[in-house]
Amino acid sequence: MLFVLLFLPANLLSQVLLKTPRTKNIAMLLFSLVFYSWAGPRYLLLLVFMSFACWLGALCIQYAPRKKFWLVLTVAVCLFILGLFKYTGFLLTNFKSLFGVPEVIPQIVLPIGISFYTFQLISYVVDVYRGEVEAQEKYWLLLLYASLFHQCIAGPIVRYKDVNEDILARKVSGKEISAGITRFAVGLAKKAVLANGCAVIADQLLLPDAGALAAVPAMGILLGTFAFTLQIYLDFSAYSDMAIGMGLMCGFHYKENFDYPYMSISVTEFWRRWHISLSSFFRDYVYIPLGGSRCGLSRQLFNLFVVWFLTGMWHGASWNFILWGLYFGALLAVERYVMGERLDRIPSLARHLGVLVLVMFSWIIFKFTDMGLLGTAVKGLFGLNHNGFSGAAVSLLFKNNIWFLLLCTAACTPLGRTVRRMLANGARGNTVLWWVNGVWEVVHPAALLILSAMALAGDSYNPFLYFQF
């Protein structure tokens, strides 16, 4: 609440009062560095260093000979730092299980947001190498790009070429400020009210203890999985909504990161709609440079599985994330190379339901970093834990939350957007609807902010899921 009531208003006030792009950027940089250091001041130095390395590397790429050398060196530095903090413990743990050494595995704390700002900086350096953007001459402006508090710790992954003009000469209109406030309010309510509510249900059923999880009946595992499926979308899309909204208030235009992915009728479409900035990053900076689909079948499959192995690894240093990535790689391979055009002959409703089942199962894999717990959950889903199909406690939990779950389900569809568009279109030729639409546009963001404040006031610390990445 401190962020909503103090930090964000102070930042917005600075952007309104300051007149020149330079002074606005200086203020935005200071606010962003304070915001990032709030969670861990010592890791601010890491962000500053990586931004400096990429600033220097990009200048060498643009002005020095041996451009490819500087590209490889700069990207290698970024990946080495990311790997050191994110994967050292995972690699040493697996090495110890195989060879018995080392005896002591260092506990390395993962700096918040490192995966996001590392990929942003890599995309900047590669785009300079490709000639798609000019290298930024001023280090502090590149640091501003990497540290923008709207999105640096949990996405979306913003490319420098998409915000370069906004950094150098942004302008803010009253219409964009209004749209930004509304988008932020919607995102905050998604998180504080809907996602956190789904988390309460999921955590009661997808338990972190093997014995307790084994005692949950099949319908309990299914209900918990459904709640987590809603939670992860509402949670992550909420942060993207808030980032896009805060950006609009200050003149930054971030691209959409979600497009109602649970409406998809194929796994391929799902990944065009889910975490768009991440999937497009791997497409443009890994899949296509590897050869994409412009080569033979065996090489195409290799490229596909490399991308999805890395996608899984990006999400976390744990075998379940690797399995989760390869699971989607296998599904996409089946769709593309086995089903092919035959997929189009399946009715859309059946395809949609099939995608939902496959995606829901993927979230079970995603949820449990402990492979033993994952096995127990999967067995329980298919009724192999011998605890029956349902139980009184599960039925009561479902009945008590059925309307809330229906509301959350509706929030995962474009229903609200469709109703708003219909109201806005109808208001053009109807005076009554014009007044109703005008009042709605003013009242509902304020109502959502108040509702979110009420939800957060009595809630314990509940960070966004993607903070861990």
Please give the positions annotated as active site.
315
How many Å from the N-terminal Cα to the C-terminal Cα in the chain? Answer: 23
Angular region, 252: left φ>0, alpha ψ -120 to 50, beta rest: beta
CA neighbor of 183 nearest in space, from 240, 252, 141: 240
Residue with tokens 């099949």: 218
Q: Considering only CA atoms, which of 83, 87, 88 is closest in space to residue 106?
A: 88
Q: Using CA atoms in the order 110, 113, 119, 125, what is the torsion angle rounded to 10 degrees?
A: -100
Contact between residue 123 and residue 285 where contact means Cβ atoms under 8 Å apart? yes
Backbone dihedral region for residue 105 (phi beyond 0: left; psi -120 to 50: alpha; all else: beta): beta
Helix axes 319-333, 297-315, angle to 10 degrees: 150
CA distance 133 to 203: 45
Question: Which residues are CB-contacts of 222 (< 8 A; sequence separation ≥ 6)?
Answer: 381
Q: What are the percentages of helix, strand and coil residues in the chain, rounded to 5?
A: 75, 0, 25
Burial of 56 (0-12, 13-18, 19+ CB in 10 A): middle
Concatenating the DSSP letter of every residue in 194-242 gives IIHHHHHHHHHHS-SSHHHHHTS-HHHHHHHHHHHHHHHHHHHHHHHHH
Are the CB atoms for 124 and 58 separated by under 8 Å?
yes
Nearest to 164 by CA among 148, 183, 149, 184: 148
Residue 363, helix vs strand vs coil: helix
Q: Is the peptide bond before 445 cis (omega within 30 degrees of 0)?
A: no
Evaluate whether 283 touches 308 at the Cβ level (below 8 Å): no
* Relative orientation angle of helices 392-411 and 218-250, to the nearest 10 degrees: 30
| Residue 293 phi, psi dihedral angles, 5° rounding | -105, 20
- Which structure tokens are listed for 201? 């249900």
Is there a contact between 149 and 32 (Cβ–Cβ < 8 Å)? yes
